[in-house]
């Protein structure tokens, strides 16, 4: 999740006064997407399977510890 400018390739969702932009091609692969506010920020969930990447900064195998 990041701040970004609207592009013609984005879908725009306005919820409770906040605009969410999702690139249309990405949305086709990732929908449905849920964005929830939790105590420390946002939690984004999707049925999309992601490969590689980090496990987060709290895990022993984290890329943050390299």
pTM for this model (two decimals): 0.57
At 39 the pLDDT is: 85
Q: Which residues of 36-58 are buried (b: 16+ CB within 10 A; e: fewer)?
A: eeeeeeeeeeeeeeeeeeeeeee
Note the pLDDT tens digit of each residue in 10-63.
999 998 888 889 899 988 988 888 888 888 888 888 888 766 655 555 555 445
């Amino acid at each position: 999740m990041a701040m970004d400018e609207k592009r013609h390739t984005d879908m725009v969702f306005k919820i409770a006064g906040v605009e969410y932009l999702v690139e249309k091609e990405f949305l086709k692969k990732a929908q449905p997407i849920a964005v929830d506010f939790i105590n420390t920020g946002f939690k984004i969930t999707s049925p999309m399977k992601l490969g590689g990447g980090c496990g987060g900064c709290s895990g022993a195998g984290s890329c943050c510890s390299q």
